[in-house]
Structure 1
Amino acid sequence: MSIQSYIADNKLEWMIVYNAPTDAYKYAYRGCLVVTEGKVITPDKSLPPKEIVKQVILATNSDKIDFLACELTSLDVFEGFVAKYKEFLTPEGKYLLFVSDIIGKGTFVYEGITFNTFALDESSVWNDLLDLADLSKGDLKKMSDKEKIDTVCKDILRSNLRLSEKTYEEIKALQRGGKLSFGAV
């Protein structure tokens, strides 16, 4: 099963911005992805999802996820996210997590998969990706949605993120309220 089929068949898309191929990728997605579904009221009606990952930019040329950037409103969502999408994550993929409740950044391996983790600085994953790719909004102004996805993914995949290696526990300690937090929260 492909990631595209998995998302569609399980109704995991939420607030879709883009959901189609691009010139460079067989499948690309922008929007939110469901981590924990809402309560099913009737076969045709459910409550909104309990947990989502936001501002997702996903691109792939295979059945797995080749590129993923997203916002986690809390690092507490991470393990549920990995459990939900693990069969589509690979050691070869490039995965960037922008986390709202951590202070700092780093790269870590979790269940054999490498994740690049950043504190969400610009309040927008897209703006942070542009900074990492050394692109400006002006560079993308006249591009279509699919051209923007292709350009950002290509530049991020080529970039060296220059992150220090950490353990998952060290990343968790960067969480606001974690044991390494300083100052007022």
Structure 2
Amino acid sequence: MATPIEFIKANELDWQPSLNAKLSNGLYGYRGALIIEPGKQISADRKLPPKIQARQVIMMTTDDSIKFLTCELESFNDFKPMFEKYKQFFVPDSMNLLYVTDLEANGTFEYEGVKFTAYMLDESSVWNELLDLASLEKSDMKSLKQPEEKIEKLYEELLTCNVEDTPRTYEEMCSFIGESSKQLMGAV
């Protein structure tokens, strides 16, 4: 069986990666976006951007599973197709944090034996939300030079935090789907 990263590469599911490297803690790290539903192939060498993607992904994997995944989903409706696409790599003891722009409430739910915590995301970035959740300051990260060190430190801090929210069912989470509240930030 392929590793999660080999699966992503073989199926051309990575999108604009900024990090794709082995980490010092024996895990493999990825930052970028992951394709959930690819864009239309318009010629032999051109494809439209993905129809659905998980953005701002920070992922740490072992040889056979996802140990940590966090990302932005434009809609909670994108969760199920994302889970189906990467389902073979999700395990019960992983940490999975979703930041969703059209949710009107936070919650921790279980889906096919795997726990996910979904948070509302309006104006911030996943990175900033994670720093807040881990009680880290940006200055704590500036002393670290390599991107690998930064995601390792963030992950280590998150392991010491309670990242869960109100227990809910998947169906309850679906009932909290509303309008996207994310404010698009352009050039200032």
If the length of structure 1 is used for normalisation, what is the TM-score?
0.91
Q: How many residues were matched structurally?
A: 177
1:121 offset after TM fit, Å?
Answer: 4.6
With structure 2 as the length reference, what TM-score do the two structures score?
A: 0.89
Q: CA deviation at 1:158?
A: 2.2
Q: Distance in 1 between matches of 2:66 and 2:160?
A: 17
- Runs of 4+ in structure 1 deviating by more than 3 angstroms, as ranges, are none
Selected match of 2:170 from 159, 168, 171: 168
TM-superposed deviation, 1:156: 1.0
Contact 2:20 2:29 in 1 (8 A): yes
1:9–1:162 distance in 2 versus 1, CA, 3 Å: closer
Letter of the aligned partner of 2:30 in structure 1? Y
Letter in 2 for 1:151: K
Alpha-carbon distance in 2 for matches of 1:122, 1:41: 33
SS for the counterpart of 1:148 is: helix
| Percent of aligned pairs sharing the same letter | 42
**Which stretch of structure 1 is more off in the superposition, 100-109 or 36-45?**
36-45
Higher mean alpha-carbon deviation, 102-111 vs 124-133, is at 102-111
Report Cα offsets for 1:151-180 as digits up to 9, x if no partner: 011111221124121001111111116xxx
Q: CA RMSD for the aligned pairs?
A: 1.3
Cα distance, 1:42 vs. partner? 3.4
> Which runs of 5 or more structure 1 residues have no equivalent in the other structure?
178-185
Partners of 1:117 and 1:25 in 2: CA distance: 27
Matched-pair contact (CA < 8 Å) for 1:25–1:59: no
The answer as to 2:31 corresponding to 1:30 is: yes
- After superposition, the Cα gap between the structure-2 partners of 1:44 and 1:31, relative to the gap in structure 1 and judged at 3 Å, is same
What is the one-letter code of the residue matched to 1:176?
Answer: G
Q: Counterpart of 2:147?
A: 145
The residue number in structure 1 matching 2:83 is 82
Offset at residue 25 of structure 1 (A): 3.9
Instruction: List gaps (5 residues or longer) in structure 2.
Output: 180-188
